[in-house]
Amino acid sequence: MVAALAPVESPAETVDRLRTTFRTGRTKSLDWRTDQLRRLRALLTEHGDELADALHADLGKSRKEAYRTEIDFTVREIDHTLEHLADWLRPEPAPVPARLGGAKAHTVQDPLGVVLVIAPWNYPLQLLLAPVVGALAAGNAVVAKPSELAPATSAAVARLLPRCLDEDAVAVVEGAVPETTALLAERFDHVFYTGNGAVGRIVMAAAAKHLTPVTLELGGKSPVFVDRDTDLKAVAGRLAAGKFLNAGQTCVAPDYVLTDPGTGAALADALATAVEELYGADASTHPEYGRIVNRRHFDRLTGLLGSGRTVTGGTYDRDAKYLAPTVLADVAPDAPVMREEIFGPVLPIISVDGLDEAIAFINDRDKPLALYAFTESDTVRERLIAETSSGAVGIGLPLAHLTVSDLPFGGVGESGMGSYHGRYSLETFSHRKAVLDTPLAS
């Protein structure tokens, strides 16, 4: 006799079940929050190799990169949160006007309720679980939606998360567009989405029907300004390491370089050397170099290779989803590679006369998720920070700002809205409630 399969829970049933749990109040205690975070930490440390294998299957990530950029990254976020959570949750007093003599005021961080976290495929573990850390720390029930484009990681999370966390307060919903659409039809108390702007608009429109607040972690073309008279060997090494991590499939990866023609020519040569130092003469044989997520993205990226003169790279293997780390020079501002976020291992160099033209070039385009600069000049630093708008500014080292837990990570304009990491995650998934206590006695 074959046992009957348990009925599959609908999105509406999942949300209702989690909301029932939230209304009991059990997710609000500090003990529950810290217990869930410790359980999540144990999941990552005890099943790290299993998760690393899934990340390799989905994106060709090496074990070293899987731990550094996904597993250990999330563990550090948990540790930082556990260390500070009790302090972050303490009521904050507020001064009271004299006319309300005797009254006391303070604010408290209130959990929002049931929140939805939708993750992308490029860092399918980190970008799912790091927001979940904030949602749990804030005392919410959570629906986690992993990316269907990273199926091995999605399956691993769906299998492990319910085993380790409070399954009446945390649920994983797998699937593609139909399942995501069904989830978005439900009323959540916050929706946290990481991905592209086109889907971000769909998420925001769906959330608006319920007046649900959203956090949109998007992307865009993050520029790099390289000043004259910089150490180009150091610049090239740091730029190549940041750009070609995860085969360029990073939302804050340097997207294009702005510099003067003379510096650009020397930098192109330095980048070719830096790429070979990182990955050898043939990156396809290097264990630390990943692969493109699928053939659709692969075909889009290879279609951009004709946008300039190939300095290094340009080779590819469609069956293996391999695209070599590629640097393009002599790229026109309106070339195909400059019309959309690249999100792959192709780095174009654009010539500008100097800082003024670089700032104008950046400001004429959508606000990026990050802006990077290599310069020894305090004036250049100050002008880039003051005269441009971006989610973050990184001087001298790409990508590193997102590893600082006390810095907010998020975009502005087309690159997103809202932020998270550390205390900013708690604030994203909480409501700061005002409390005024006025005595009845005169």
Residue appearing with tokens 């293997």: 317
* Residue 194, beta-bridge partner list: 217
Distances, alpha carbon 81 to alpha carbons 257, 400, 423, 440, in Å: 35, 19, 8, 39
User: What is the CA angle 328-330-333, rounded to 5?
Assistant: 95
Per-residue tokens: 275: 């790429």
- Set 251, 341, 414, 427: catalytic member: 251
* Residue 351, beta-bridge partner list: 259
Longest CA–CA span in the chain (Å) reads: 82
Buried b (16+ CB within 10 A) or exposed e, 397-416: ebbebbeebeebbbbbebbb
Q: Nearest to residue 347, comparing CAs of 379, 296, 305, 376? A: 305
Q: What is the CA radius of gyration of the chain?
A: 23
Q: Nearest to residue 324, comparing CAs of 305, 306, 309? A: 305
CA distance 294 to 274: 27
CA distance 425 to 19: 21
User: In this structure, is the dihedral angle defined by the CA atoms of residues 393, 314, 308 and 305, taken in order, positive or negative?
Assistant: negative
CB 335 within 8 A of CB 305: no
Distances, alpha carbon 101 to alpha carbons 94, 221, 424, 434, 441, in Å: 14, 54, 33, 18, 11
Q: Nearest to residue 321, comparing CAs of 282, 279, 293? A: 293
The identity of residue 268, as a single letter, is: A
CA distance 350 to 347: 10
Taking the C-alpha atoms of 132, 136, 140 and 146 in order, what is their torsion angle to the nearest 10 degrees? 20
End-to-end CA distance of the chain: 77
* Residue 323, beta-bridge partner list: 316
- Give the three-state DSSP class for 374: strand
Active site residue 164: no
* Residue 107, beta-bridge partner list: 92, 434
- Set 65, 70, 217, 427: catalytic member: 217
Look up residue 393 and give its DSSP letter: E
Active site residue 427: no
**Active centre residues (catalytic):** 217, 251
